[in-house]
Chain A
């Protein structure tokens, strides 16, 4: 599984949504499944899957699928 697939799978697992829901445009607090509690689960899932420890600011900034990818790139996760 490449990192893009891992990212999608992490969202699917943490938010309990269908894979096709996980698009770049999907944003925090715009669907019922991605509320603050689910956000915590998501952060744990991403940290686990990519073996990183995110900073407070990065956790807060992770407001969309696109942002999640951009932030993870800062932690040397390659989505090329």
Chain B
């Protein structure tokens, strides 16, 4: 299946000549027409290099107009793109280069050729997104254009994005949720803005009021900051709705935001997803937020969710499986793995959920030992390996934003020493603890639950 139509620009093809504003930053704004012209120009420029038809490129994607032009140009050329966050350090970039052997690297409109050999490429692979933060090596989620478009259309079927809407991107475009906000607004012909200001700058809120901004999207830490900044006391008459995903926001905070939305005639969408599903899998109907602040709601339009359990007949509790056109092609760790994919029909999310009588879902646990720290995925097993050596045995437990590294009593000083010299995570998110002896399960595996109750009770 060859997607490369000459001169076709994904997402914006139908309104590429529109004079409506597509993107803006702190200095300038560009219309859909201007954006399309930039893309056509850049495509001409990049086609002058002797790069293969299905090039793989490493694109450092900033929250900028230039980076969106880079991204849409590479998509329209049917290249395969590894999207890299601008804050990603040199060492990780080098690891990616070694693993994926990109034909070119692109940043801020500048393309640098690395080599011109065509690697064997799956027909559908289009975008590679990293799943790990600073703690892991680079396993990437491989997505097709069909994944990207299908998920954006599902989201547009339930989020009230309007053609005249303006949103302000507060998440990096290298992150699936941030990218989905861009995609939905581009398809709709609406407007996405970028700003260097953070929510802690007055200029940010001045922009929100004056543009005005009609929607906001963010991860739990974003909303925790907004609540701390008295977001619920702000008069933002033009803000119609706001969305939260990317991890669990506490029910108290969901309620506070839900109440604000209710009183001020806005909508608050609590959503659930994973990069493996392009971004979105479920959302809670905004009118249910106050009744069920701990629910992730139901599958998005076009998606199906099943709860699978090995030890009971019940379909109302078990691991959450998702099926839909947004389920990834698969994972890729290196160039060879891009040659072909065999996508799974159902995505095993690793989350354990239950379903209530209304069909709304609640996440109650995880099968995989993965937590989120400051918005990044952290694999507890990988951390254990990192801190353990021949003389020091370390086990690791955690909940979101707190990692506890545990060792035996007599080795605690050695662990603390290691923590100060080899810290992978912010100090406030890590603590060291010790136990007298290791608890084990009947099958001889470490009993992490007992370990958690031992060390967490002491704190």
Question: Is residue B201 contacting chain A, with contact meaning CB distance below 8 A?
Answer: yes
Chain B hits for A37, CB < 8 A = 221, 374, 426, 428
Question: Is residue B392 contacting chain A, with contact meaning CB distance below 8 A?
Answer: no
Binds B, one of A1-9, A18-26, A56-64, A71-79: A56-64
Question: Is residue B228 contacting chain A, with contact meaning CB distance below 8 A?
Answer: yes
A-B contact pairs, 24 of them (CB 8 A): A16-B428, A36-B198, A36-B199, A36-B200, A37-B374, A37-B426, A39-B200, A40-B224, A40-B228, A41-B428, A43-B228, A44-B228, A55-B230, A56-B229, A56-B230, A56-B231, A56-B233, A56-B234, A57-B202, A59-B200, A59-B230, A60-B200, A60-B229, A61-B202
Query: What is the interface of chain A, defined by CB distance below 8 A to chain B?
Result: 16, 28, 36-41, 43-44, 55-57, 59-61
Task: Tell me the total A-B contact number using a CB cutoff of 8 A.
Answer: 37
- What per-residue 1/0 map shows which CB atoms of B200-215 lie under 8 Å from chain A? 1110010000000000
- B428 near A38: Cβ-Cβ < 8 Å: yes
User: Which of A28, A39, A56 neighbours the largest number of chain B CB atoms within 10 Å of its CB?
Assistant: A56
The number of residues on chain B lying at the interface, defined by a beta carbon within 8 Å of a beta carbon of chain A, is: 19
Q: Which among B202, B225, B231 is the interface contact of A36 at CB below 8 angstroms?
A: B225
**B327-383, CB < 8 A from A:** 374
Q: Which among A16, A28, A38, A56 is the interface contact of B205 at CB below 8 angstroms?
A: A56
The distance in angstroms between the C-alpha atoms of A61 and B200, with both chains bound, is 8
Closest to A62 in B: B200
Chain B hits for A56, CB < 8 A = 205, 229-231, 233-234
- B228 near A59: Cβ-Cβ < 8 Å: yes
Closest to A63 in B: B200
Closest CB-CB distance, B195 to chain A, in whole Å? 15
Chain B hits for A38, CB < 8 A = 428
The distance in angstroms between the C-alpha atoms of A43 and B284, with both chains bound, is 31
Q: Contacts A56-B205, A60-B200, A60-B202 known; list 9 others, CB within 8 Å.
A: A16-B427, A36-B199, A36-B200, A41-B428, A43-B228, A56-B229, A56-B231, A57-B202, A61-B202
